[in-house]
Amino acid sequence: MLISSATIDPPSQKLPPPRSLGSLPPEVLHEYVEYLRTLYMPSVRGSKILRRTLEVSDGRTGVEIQRAEGNGRKNVSGNDDRDEVEDEGDPYTALRTDAFERTHALRWLSYLTTRFPDTPAAASLLANLAGPGGSGPMTRVLPLYRHASAGGWKRMALTVTVRDMPLSDGLESAGVQTWGGACVLADLMSRDPAIFRLGGRSESGNDAEPLRVLELGSGTGLVGIAYTKLAEAESAGRPKTRVVCTDLYPAVLENLAWNVTQNFSPSTFELGCATSTSICVHPLDWAAFTSPTTPSSPQSAPSLCPLTTHLSPGFDVILGADIAYEPPHAAWIYAAVRAMLRRSPDALFHLVMPLRPTHAVECEDVERTFGMRTSRTGDGEQLVVRRKERVVCAVGDGGQQQVVYAYYQIGWGFRAGVSHDS
pLDDT for 276 equals 76
Between 238 and 338, the more confident residue is 338
Question: What's the pLDDT score for residue 222?
Answer: 97
Which of the given ranges, 106-110, 137-141, 251-255, has the highest pLDDT on average? Answer: 251-255
What pLDDT, on a 0 to 100 scale, did the predictor assign at position 353?
A: 93
Q: How far is CA 102 from the centre of its chain?
A: 29
pLDDT at 304 (0 to 100) = 52
Distance (Å, whole) CA 417 – CA 382: 13
Band the pLDDT of 399: cuts 50, 70, 90: very low
Segment 76-90 shows an average pLDDT of 45
Domain boundary assignment for the chain? 43-87+140-413
pTM listed for this prediction: 0.76
Spatial distance between the Cα atoms of 393 and 48, rounded to a whole number of angstroms? 5
Give the per-residue pLDDT at 205. 56
Say if strands 348-354 and 317-321 run parallel, antiparallel, or are unpaired.
parallel
Work out the burial of residue 383: count CB atoms within 10 Å of its CB; fewer than 13 is exposed, 13-18 middle, 19 or more buried.
buried
Q: What is the mean pLDDT of the chain?
A: 77
Least Cα distance to 269 among 218, 224, 323 occurs for 224
pLDDT above 70 as % of the chain: 68
Return the higher-pLDDT residue of 18 and 377: 18
Provide the CA 154 distance to its chain's centre, in angstroms.
Answer: 19
How does 314-341 read in b/e, with b if 16+ C-beta sit within 10 Å?
Answer: bbbbbbbbbbbbeeebbbbbbbbbbebb
pLDDT of residue 78: 55
DSSP strand pairing (48-57 vs 60-68) = antiparallel
- Distance in angstroms (rounded) separating the CA atoms of residues 92 and 226: 27
- Of these ranges, 39-53, 69-83, 105-119, the one predicted with the greatest mean pLDDT is 105-119
Lowest mean pLDDT among 151-155, 199-203, 316-320, 334-338: 151-155
Q: Which of the two residues, 213 and 138, has the higher pLDDT score? A: 213
Q: Which residue has the higher pLDDT, 71 or 135?
A: 135
pLDDT at 177 over 50: yes
Given this model, what pLDDT does residue 138 score?
78
Distances in Å between the Cα of 297 and the Cα atoms of 59, 171, 270 are 37, 16, 21
- Whether 118 has a pLDDT exceeding 70, the answer reads yes
CATH number belonging to domain 43-87+140-413 = 3.40.50.150
Q: Mean pLDDT throughout 112-129? A: 79
Phi-psi region of 152 (alpha: psi -120 to 50; beta: other; left: phi over 0): left
Structure confidence at residue 328 (pLDDT): 86
Please determine, for residue 407, whether its predicted confidence score (pLDDT) is greater than 90.
yes
Across 207-226, average pLDDT = 92
pLDDT exceeds 80 at position 350: yes
Three-state secondary structure string covering the chain: CCCCCCCCCCHHHHCCCHHHHHHCCHHHHHHHHHHHHHHHCCCCCCCEEEEEEEEEECCEEEEEEEEECCCCEECCCCCEECCCCCCCCCHHHHHHCCHHHHHHHHHHHHHHHHHCCCCHHHHHHHHHHCCCCCCCCEEEEEEEEEECCCCCEEEEEEEEEEEECCCCCCHHHHHHCCCHHHHHHHHHHHHCCCCCCCCCCCCCCCCCCCEEEEEECCCCCHHHHHHHHHHHHCCCCCCCEEEEEEECCHHHHHHHHHHHHHHCCHHHHCCCCCCCEEEEEEECCHHHHCCCCCCCCCCCCCCCCCHHHHCCCCECEEEEECCCCCCCHHHHHHHHHHHHECCCCCCEEEEEEECCHHHHHHHHHHHHHHCEECCCCCCCCEEEEEEEEEEEEECCCCCCCEEEEEEEEEEEECECCCCCCC
Closest CA to 261 of 307, 221, 223, 319: 221
For 313-342, the pLDDT digits (tens) are 899 999 999 998 888 899 999 999 999 999
Distances (CA, A) of 326 to 149, 333, 369: 41, 11, 14
212, 247 in Cβ contact below 8 A? no
263-304 pLDDT, tens digit each: 998 777 654 444 578 899 999 999 888 865 443 433 344 555
Higher-pLDDT residue of 167 and 327 is: 327
At residue 190, does pLDDT exceed 80? Answer: yes
Q: Residue 356: pLDDT band by 50, 70, 90 thresholds?
A: confident
Residues 6+ apart with CB under 8 A from 267: 274, 275
Mean pLDDT of all residues in 205-228 = 89
Nearest to 181 by CA among 67, 68, 279, 48: 48
What length is written for the chain?
422
Mean pLDDT of 120-143: 71
Interacting residues of 420 by C-beta distance below 8 A, sequence separation 6+: 374, 376, 380, 414
